[in-house]
Amino acid sequence: MIKLENITLSYGSRTVLRDVVMHLGKGELCALVGCNGAGKSTLLRALTSRKDIIIDGTPLGELTPEMVAQSIAIVTTERIRIENMPVEDLVAMGRAPYTNWVGHLQDVDRDVVTSAIEAVGLSTFSKRDISTLSDGELQRAMIARAIAQQTPIILLDEPSAFLDIPTRFEVCRLLAELAHKEGKTILFSTHDLDSALPVCDSFLIIEGDSLRKLPTAEAKPEMERIFR
């Protein structure tokens, strides 16, 4: 579903990752790990913008913006705090690639939004103003928006960063379910190895300017060597 072949990524004048080769398959949950400033966010941004990234066999540069939006959903670290916006309206933003030019929701769109809210356990919050949500509740709403976008690929930047320990595990279990039961390709950056290790199929490890992909069993001792 996602393929990089000998790609070098830079941030300003600094080369972050050199000669990256990477492949993520359908139904795979992969965690992206590295020290602060290693280039995790740079890599995630590249996966939505670099024309030479291969998405399901097609270079990203050959896809229209609408096709990209129907292929990749991304959850960033940005916190949307808009007063008087209910959760269901935030989640409905994920339907933008499928609605008409005025953004009118059809019944099928409303059903998708309802299902996405249910998937993250926020059904009782659908009418709630997002400005009143806790960080954990808002994060789940942002993930629901990505689910409502109905893309085969979901990218998340530090999805557990603002969550308490139980909710971190819940979010990781949710991501595993989306990958394994719905066949989505999911990549998320994280510092929370304890929550990621039980559910991930593989890890992308940034060390220096190199990127390595390892199955979880092989990745664990390597990460202990590098990060602990």
Asked, for residue 76, whether it belongs to a domain, the answer is: no
**Whether 62 and 157 share a structural domain:** yes
Backbone angles phi, psi at 212, to 5 degrees: -120, 140
Reported as a pLDDT band with limits 50, 70 and 90, residue 189 is very high
Q: With 0.75 as the threshold, say if the pTM is over it.
A: yes
Which of 126, 150, 174 finishes a domain?
150
Rg (CA), the chain: 17
**Whether 210 and 222 share a structural domain:** yes
CATH of the domain at 64: 3.40.50.300
What are the structure tokens assigned to 110, written together?
A: 């409303």
Domain span at residue 136 reads 81-150
**Whether 158 and 54 share a structural domain:** yes
Q: What DSSP character marks residue 49? A: T
Reported as a pLDDT band with limits 50, 70 and 90, residue 160 is confident
Asked, for residue 146, whether it belongs to a domain, the answer is: yes
Report CA-CA distances (Å) from 36 to 203, 207, 227.
16, 11, 11
**Do residues 50 and 2 lie in contact, with contact meaning Cβ atoms separated by under 8 Å?**
no
**How many CB atoms sit inside 10 A of residue 146's CB?**
25
Amino acid at 152: P
Distance (Å, whole) CA 50 – CA 53: 6
Count up the domains in the chain and report the number: 2
Report CA-CA distances (Å) from 118 to 88, 121, 126, 143, 175.
11, 5, 9, 11, 14
What's the pLDDT score for residue 36? 86
Q: What is the pLDDT of residues 48-64, one digit of tens each?
A: 988 999 998 999 999 99
Residues 12-19: what's their mean pLDDT? 87
3-state DSSP call for residue 205? strand
Reported as a pLDDT band with limits 50, 70 and 90, residue 102 is low
Antiparallel, parallel or unpaired: β 153-157 and 202-207 = unpaired
Q: What is the pLDDT of residues 199-227, one digit of tens each?
A: 999 999 999 999 999 999 999 998 888 87
**Whether 65 and 162 share a structural domain:** yes
What's the pLDDT score for residue 101? 59
